[in-house]
C-alpha cells in the first residue's frame, strides 16, 4: 500500500481522496536523470521504485545498467580515454622540459581498457548504493507503461510483474544511430568504440559532432591514422563558426585527415580491413569505421503511444511541457528521451526540478539559458551563452566581439604550434556579456567559472574590473580591452 504523498503544489487537491498505489513514483531508466529524480523524490517522502536493464558496457534493447549512458558508455569512459590519449603527445613535449625518455614509448591499450572498465563497474555499484541509501526500490529488468498509472517490468527470467504508481517518470535516454549505408553492419558506434578489444591502426569516422571529433582526438593521440568525414564545411555544426574553424585547424594540426563536405556511400569487408567509399569516389581502407551520426530517444519499446502519450513524429522523443509533464497528467519525462538539451547536467537539473515540482510543493521550470558545455577534443572547446551568430540573430542593438589568440606558455618551451583562442560576445547597448567561448587547454575548467558570471548577468565592465590570475590562460578573459569587431544592429525589415 502506498503511503500518503506530500501535496504536489497545485498539482493535487488536498481534499481529494487518495487512490492506493504500490508506489508514489515509478521511474523507468536509472541513468543520471532517473537516479537523481528518484533519490530527491524519496527525500521528499515519496515511495519510489525504479527499473533498469542489466549492466553491460555496450547497450542494446535488453542490456543497459544503473548509471546510464554517461557513466557506462558516455562522458565518463570517454573522458578517461581522452586523458589516456593526451599523455602520448605530452610525453614527447616533456623532452623539451628536460625529461630524458627512452626513444621508444609504448602504449598498452588493454591496460587502459581494463582500468576504464573497472572504473565504470565501480561507479555502477555507487549508483546502486545511492538508490538503496535513499530508500528507492530497484528492479532489474525492462520497464514499459501499460496504463496511465501502471508499469510492467519484464524480469530477467521473462516473468512480468505489474506495479501501480501515482506518477510515472520516463528517463530512458537515447541510443546511437546508424545511417542506412550499404555495409553499415561493418561499422561501430560510440558504445563499441569505448570497448574495442584492439586499438585500431586506421580509423574512419563519419560525423562532425561531439562524438566524432572526440574519438578522432582519442585515436590520433594513441597513434592511429584517422580520417574524419563530415557533411559540412566545418565540424561541430551549431557552435560559433569562428571556434569551429579553430577546432578544425587544431585537429588537422595534430595529424587528423579532414574530409569536409563528405559522406560515405558503401562499406565492404576485405582481407585488409574495411574498404570505405565516399561520395567523391575516394576509397579508404580502415580497421574500424565509427558512425558518429547522432542519437535517437529510447522510446520504441515503452508502449507510450498505446496509453496516449504524445511523441514527436520525427524523432520519437517524448513531448513534455515546461515542468517535464506529458499530455497524460500522471506521466512525466526527463533527459535525452525528451530531446530538449541533451547533456547529463541538464538531465540532473531536470530530475531535481521534477522532484521539487511533484513532491516538494515547489513547481519549478528549468532555465535553459547560459548552460555551459564542452567538447573534449584535444585541446578541448568549451562555451556558454550565445555564439556570435546567435547574438546577431537575437540582439536588438550592436554586438561587440572581443577575441584573444595566443600561444600558451607551455607551448613556448615545448615548441607546439597550437594557439589558444578566447572570445566574448557583448551587447553593445547594455554591455552585458552574451556569450563566451574558449578552445585550448583547460577550457572546460575555466568556462565553468565564466558560466556563473553570465548566469549573474555580468557586464564587460565587470569582467574588465576583475583582477586576473597570473600567469594563466584564464586571465585573458579579464584583459581583453580592444574590440576585435563591431557588428551593427540588424535593420528591421519593412513591408512595402
**143-178 in b/e burial notation, b at 16+ Cβ within 10 A?**
bbbebebbbbbbeeeeeeeebbbbbbbbbbbbbbee
Beta bridge partners, 25, equal: 48, 167
User: Hunting for cell 595529424 — which residue is that?
Assistant: 255
| The one catalytic residue among 56, 259, 280, 470 | 470
Specify the DSSP class assigned to residue 320.
-
211 is in an annotated binding site: yes
78 is in an annotated binding site: no
- Which three three-digit cell numbers place residue 318? 517524448
DSSP 8-state code for residue 20: P
Cα–Cα dist 374/477, whole Å: 17
Known binding residue 79? Answer is yes
Is position 279 annotated in a ligand binding site? no
Asked if residues 382 and 372 have their Cβ atoms less than 8 Å apart, the reply is yes
Q: Is 449 known as a binding-site position?
A: no
* Annotated binding residue 159: no
Q: CA separation (Å) from 45 to 6, 114, 148, 163? A: 7, 40, 22, 19
Q: Alpha-carbon distance 462 to 431, whole Å?
A: 9
Task: Specify the DSSP element, H or E, that contains 257.
Answer: strand 257-259
The answer to whether the annotation marks 336 as part of a ligand binding site is yes
CA distance 154 to 347: 25
- Strands (DSSP E) along 283-398, which ranges? 283-286, 288-291, 295-297, 331-333, 373-375, 381-385
State yes or no: 493 annotated in a binding site: no
Q: What is the b/e burial string over 425-449, where b = at least 16 CB atoms within 10 angstroms of the residue's CB?
A: bbbbeeebbbbbbbbbbbbbebbee
Is residue 214 annotated as involved in ligand binding? yes
d(CA 320, CA 326): 4
Tell me the C-alpha distance between 413 and 5, whole Å: 63
Q: Judge whether 167 counts as a catalytic residue.
A: no
Is 208 annotated to bind a ligand? Reply is yes
207 is an annotated ligand-binding site residue = yes
Q: Is residue 471 reached through a cis peptide bond, with omega within 30 degrees of 0 on the bond before it?
A: yes
> Does 213 count as an annotated binding residue?
yes
β-pair partners for 426: 400, 433
Question: Are 386 and 51 in contact, with CB atoms under 8 Å apart?
Answer: no
CA distance 36 to 38: 5
Distance CA 46, CA 170 (A): 17
Task: Check whether the bond before 379 is cis (ω within 30° of 0).
Answer: yes
Can you tell me the distance from the alpha carbon of 249 to that of 258, in angstroms, rounded to the nearest whole number?
10
Find the DSSP H helices in 332-385.
Answer: 344-359
88 carries a ligand binding annotation: no
The C-alpha cell at 487 is 557588428
**Residue 431 near residue 423, CB atoms below 8 Å:** no
Task: Please report, in range form, the residues annotated as the binding site for NAD(+).
Answer: 207-214, 294
Active site residue ranges? 470
Annotation: binding site: 79, 143, 172-174, 207-214, 294, 336
Could you tell me which residues are annotated as the binding site for FAD? 79, 143, 172-174, 336
Amino acid at each position: 500500500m502506498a503511503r500518503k504523498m506530500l501535496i504536489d503544489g497545485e498539482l493535487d487537491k488536498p481534499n481529494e481522496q487518495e487512490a492506493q498505489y504500490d508506489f508514489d513514483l515509478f521511474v523507468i531508466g536509472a541513468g543520471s536523470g532517473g537516479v537523481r529524480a528518484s533519490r530527491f523524490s524519496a527525500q521528499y517522502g515519496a515511495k519510489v521504485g525504479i527499473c533498469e536493464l542489466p549492466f553491460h558496457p555496450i547497450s542494446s534493447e535488453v542490456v543497459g545498467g544503473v548509471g546510464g549512458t554517461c557513466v557506462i558508455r558516455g562522458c565518463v569512459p570517454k573522458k578517461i580515454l581522452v586523458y589516456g590519449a593526451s599523455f602520448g603527445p605530452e610525453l614527447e613535449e616533456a623532452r623539451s622540459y628536460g625529461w630524458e625518455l627512452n626513444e621508444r614509448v609504448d602504449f598498452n591499450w588493454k591496460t587502459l581498457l581494463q582500468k576504464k572498465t573497472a572504473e565504470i563497474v565501480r561507479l555502477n555499484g555507487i549508483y546502486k548504493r545511492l538508490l538503496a541509501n535513499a530508500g528507492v526500490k530497484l528492479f532489474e529488468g525492462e520497464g514499459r507503461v501499460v496504463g496511465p498509472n501502471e508499469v510492467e517490468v519484464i524480469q530477467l527470467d521473462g516473468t512480468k510483474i505489474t506495479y501501480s504508481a501515482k506518477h510515472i517518470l520516463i528517463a530512458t535516454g537515447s541510443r546511437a544511430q546508424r545511417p542506412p549505408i550499404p555495409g553499415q553492419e561493418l561499422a561501430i558506434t560510440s558504445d563499441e568504440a569505448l570497448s574495442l578489444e584492439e586499438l585500431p591502426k586506421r580509423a574512419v569516422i563519419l560525423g562532425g559532432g561531439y562524438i566524432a571529433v572526440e574519438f578522432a582526438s582519442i585515436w590520433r593521440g594513441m597513434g592511429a591514422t584517422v580520417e574524419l568525414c563530415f557533411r559540412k564545411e566545418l565540424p561541430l555544426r551549431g557552435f560559433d563558426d569562428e571556434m569551429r574553424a579553430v577546432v578544425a585547424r587544431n585537429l588537422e594540426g595534430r595529424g587528423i585527415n579532414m574530409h569536409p563536405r563528405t559522406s560515405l556511400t558503401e562499406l565492404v569487408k576485405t582481407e585488409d580491413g574495411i574498404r570505405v567509399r565516399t561520395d567523391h569516389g575516394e576509397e579508404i581502407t580502415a580497421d574500424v569505421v565509427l558512425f558518429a551520426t547522432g542519437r535517437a530517444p529510447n522510446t520504441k519499446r515503452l508502449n507510450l503511444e498505446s496509453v496516449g502519450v504524445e511523441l514527436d513524429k520525427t524523432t520519437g522523443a517524448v513531448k513534455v511541457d515546461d515542468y517535464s509533464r506529458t499530455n497524460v497528467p500522471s506521466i512525466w519525462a526527463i533527459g535525452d528521451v525528451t530531446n530538449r538539451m541533451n547533456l547529463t547536467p541538464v538531465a540532473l537539473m531536470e530530475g531535481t526540478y521534477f522532484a521539487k515540482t511533484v513532491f516538494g510543493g515547489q513547481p519549478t521550470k528549468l532555465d535553459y539559458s547560459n548552460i555551459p558545455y564542452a567538447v573534449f577534443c584535444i585541446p578541448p572547446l568549451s562555451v556558454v551563452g550565445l555564439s556570435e551568430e546567435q547574438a546577431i540573430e537575437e540582439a536588438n542593438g550592436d554586438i561587440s566581439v572581443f577575441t584573444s589568440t595566443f600561444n600558451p606558455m607551455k607551448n613556448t618551451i615545448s615548441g607546439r604550434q597550437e594557439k589558444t583562442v578566447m572570445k566574448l560576445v557583448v551587447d553593445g547597448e547594455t554591455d552585458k556579456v552574451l556569450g563566451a567561448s574558449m578552445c585550448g587547454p583547460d577550457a572546460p575548467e575555466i568556462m565553468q567559472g565564466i558560466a556563473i558570471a553570465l548566469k549573474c548577468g555580468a557586464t564587460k565592465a565587470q569582467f574588465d574590473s576583475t583582477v586576473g590570475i597570473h600567469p594563466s590562460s584564464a586571465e585573458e578573459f579579464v584583459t581583453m580591452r580592444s574590440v576585435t569587431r563591431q557588428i551593427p544592429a540588424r535593420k528591421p525589415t519593412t513591408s512595402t
